[in-house]
Each structure stands twice: as C-alpha cells, then as structure tokens.
Amino acid sequence: MDTAGIGAEDPSSALPGEALLPVLQLCDSALPTGAFAHTFGLETYLHRGTVHDEATFGAWLSRFLDAQLVPADGLAVRLAASGCPLVELDAVLYAQALPAQVRRAGVTMGRRLLEIGSLAMPGPRLAAYADLVDAGRCHGHQAIAFGLIGVDHGAPADALVRAFLFSTLTALTQNAVRGVPLGQNAGQRVLARMRPDVDAAARRIATLTLDDLGAVPPGLEIAQMQHETQRARMFMS
C-alpha cells in the first residue's frame, strides 16, 4: 500500500464540506471517550519537575507528537483510513504499546469511540470493525475507529491525520492546564505554536508504512511505565 505523496499541498487532501461536521464532532473535547483521564506519561514528568510551566510543557508536547503520536496512533489513523487490513493493524497497534496503561487506554477509549460512533456517526467501515471487535478478532482502538469514522463520512486520510493529531494535543493541553497547572491562555498559546509541528508531523506520517508502526523511543515508554507505580496520581496514564 503506497500512502506516500499525500500532503497539505495536494488538493485531494482538502476536507469536503459534508465531512466537516462529523470530523468536528470527532474532535470535540466534550466527546465522552475518557481522554480527560489520560496524560500518556506527562504526569510522570510533572512529578519529576521536568514539566512545570508553559515553556517546558510546550517542549514536552512537541516531543510527544514527534516521538509517539507520529509512529503510533497518528500513523494508525492514516493506515486505517487508507484501507490497511484491520485485523493486522489492530494486532500490531495493540502489541506495540508496551506500557500497560497506554495499552489499556487505547482500547478503553477505542471501544468507547466505537460505541459513540455506531450510535451517532454510523458507517460500513466502522460497523465492520465493530463486528471484528465483538467477535474477539480485534481489540478495538481509538485511532483505528477515528480513521474509519472519518472515511465513512467522506474525509480524506490527510485531513483525518491532522485532525486526530491536533485533537489529541488539545486534550493533553486541557489536562496540563489542570495538572501543571497552566492558565487557559497559556494553553492556547502552546496549541497555536504546535500548528506548524502538526503540519510537519502529518507530512512525515504520509511517508511511513505499517513496518514503521511502534517505532517509539524508550525514554517516553519508561516514563509511562513508571506512572503505574507513582505514589500519587491525578490521571489514569
């Protein structure tokens, strides 16, 4: 499957009007998937004091985007939207999440998104994935469900990748506003500075394949594992 060459400059990557509202609904911070309960290792860095203000959080968020979202969930959105076999994609995405909390978070939020999508944004690809999950052939993962819902509603893969990346960063920023803590204005400044990084990440994802899924640096994974035994926690991951 050749997924390269699809970038922001390609007119085919534009979001059609009929797909806009479903994608906005998918990216709504109020969508009850449980993202508010997860920091994917950020809380470990808060505990260490490595992240303690706007500047250090912005640096962490940029590294998280580049080191984990690109080679894991972001790539999975593109692969799902591009027709990658779902059983194989689901198995690799589940297996590559070495920290137990991250692995559980992906499935918990994924099954919740499958439920929400089936009720509010149904489509044939999502229904096929839900059947595989019900049959025990797939675990159910948020990134895959996100990509399938988007394609079912006419969104191209490149637009879905950008939407997923930015909505994930938004959820993490909202959690940082509570956890660091940051002011709301500081959170918005961080997100504004992340927009070029999201564009660059989407272009990088367009060059990757299933063989690249899971190429996450161990430092972040170790921090995510350490969160499991952290003495005091505000978040589930």
CA pair distance 34, 214, nearest whole angstrom: 23
Please tell me the predicted confidence (pLDDT) of residue 207. Answer: 97
Please tell me the predicted confidence (pLDDT) of residue 179. Answer: 81
- Going from the C-alpha of 121 to that of each of 23, 141, 193, the distances in angstroms are 10, 16, 31
Please tell me the predicted confidence (pLDDT) of residue 31. Answer: 84
Please tell me the predicted confidence (pLDDT) of residue 5. Answer: 39
Do 72 and 144 touch, CB atoms closer than 8 A?
no
Q: Which pTM value belongs to this model?
A: 0.87
The series of mean pLDDT values per 10 residues for the chain, 237 residues long, is: 41 75 91 70 83 95 93 97 97 89 84 95 97 98 97 96 96 88 94 97 97 84 66 52
Token pair 């025990």 is found at 136
221: Cβ contacts below 8 Å, ≥ 6 apart: 41, 98, 99, 102
CA pair distance 7, 102, nearest whole angstrom: 29
- Going from the C-alpha of 91 to that of each of 58, 95, 121, 137, the distances in angstroms are 32, 6, 24, 9
Fold of 36-229: Urease accessory protein UreF (1.10.4190)
| Chain length of the chain | 237
Please tell me the predicted confidence (pLDDT) of residue 4. Answer: 40
